[in-house]
Amino acid sequence: MNIIKVKDYEALSEVAANIIIEAVKSKPEISLGLATGGSPVQLYANLVKDHKENKTSYAGVSTYNLDEYIGLDPSHEQSYNTFMKNNLFNHVDINLANVHLPNGNTSDHEAEAKRFEELVANTTIDLQLLGIGTNGHIGFNEPGSSFDGKTAVVDLVQETIESNARYFEGNEDLVPTQAISMGVGTIMRAKAILLIASGKNKAEAIKWLVEGEVSEDLPASALRNHPNVTIVLDEDAASLLQ
Ligand code: F6R
């Protein structure tokens, strides 16, 4: 694992955005795996800024998002579909026909998970962006998830619901309790992985990921078995590392 430590969230967002920008420039038809949440917000803003200033083009890029809440229509303001449009897709020249997210509002969630897994299986994700949960989840693969897991309907644990309530008026009752998420096995098929983590609340999970036991109790530790992982950390997220 290649570990890059920087000062703060701003520096992290710049370094990680540059990795993606360089990847897009070197392969204009790149297939990107994308994440939502607080961690990549500034990174996406940097991609948008670079697109406007330097004309890096996303016209040939395809994207596959990690996950989507079940029960929210794609047009819901807190859906990950809306997040991606607001933070990235609406501001660059990407062809919306080439952006792919699970749909959390179909009549058959299992079938939708299967459809998405097949879609991802039929491509090679060149670069997968990941955040990490305070409990070490990647995507919505909570502790105990199989390292071989495929895209599936998953239950969010209480810690994740509490953490994500900040996007739902601080009200845990409004946070969906399930999601469709790429599995750890799905994520591990990406050619390269870029994980970003910022803040003291991520320090325990990062310590385990980098120095602890590889175990399904910390889903992100699967990445230790992946040949091409870059982790960008700010000082707070790296603060417990030896
Ligand atoms: C989001 C995702 C999650 C987040 C993680 C960290 O698509 O799959 O695994 O990356 O929950 O979230 P933030 O960045 O909000 O701390």
Instruction: Answer for the pair 12, 234: CB distance below 8 angstroms, yes or no.
Output: yes
How many domains in the chain?
1
Query: Residue 138 carries which DSSP code?
Result: B
**Atom nearest to 160 CA in ligand 1:** 11
Q: Which residue has the tokens 């999601």?
A: 179
Binding pocket residue ranges, ligand 1, CB within 6 Å: 35-39, 66-67, 131-133, 137-140
Domain assignment present for 68: yes
Domain assignment present for 242: no
Q: What is the CATH number of the domain that holds 183?
A: 3.40.50.1360
Domain assignment present for 174: yes
pLDDT value for 238: 98
H/E stretch holding 186 reads helix 184-188
The answer to whether 171 is a known catalytic residue is no
Domain assignment present for 240: no
Q: Which residue range forms the structural domain that includes residue 203?
A: 2-234
Domain assignment present for 239: no
Domain assignment present for 54: yes
Cα separation of 149 and 141, whole Å?
A: 9
Strand order in the sheet with 152-155: 67-69, 178-181, 152-155
The answer to whether 87 is a known catalytic residue is no
Of the candidates 137, 164, 234, 236, the residue annotated as catalytic is 137
**Atom nearest to 141 CA in ligand 1:** 9
**Full-model pTM:** 0.98
Q: What is the pLDDT along the chain (242 residues), one digit of tens a residue?
A: 999 999 999 999 999 999 999 999 999 999 999 999 999 999 999 999 999 999 999 999 999 999 999 999 999 999 999 999 999 999 999 999 999 999 999 999 999 999 999 999 999 999 999 999 999 999 999 999 999 999 999 999 999 999 999 999 999 999 999 999 999 999 999 999 999 999 999 999 999 999 999 999 999 999 999 999 999 999 999 999 99
Domain assignment present for 197: yes
Give all strands (DSSP E) within the chain, no chain letters: 2-6, 31-34, 62-65, 67-69, 99-100, 127-130, 152-155, 178-181, 192-197, 229-234
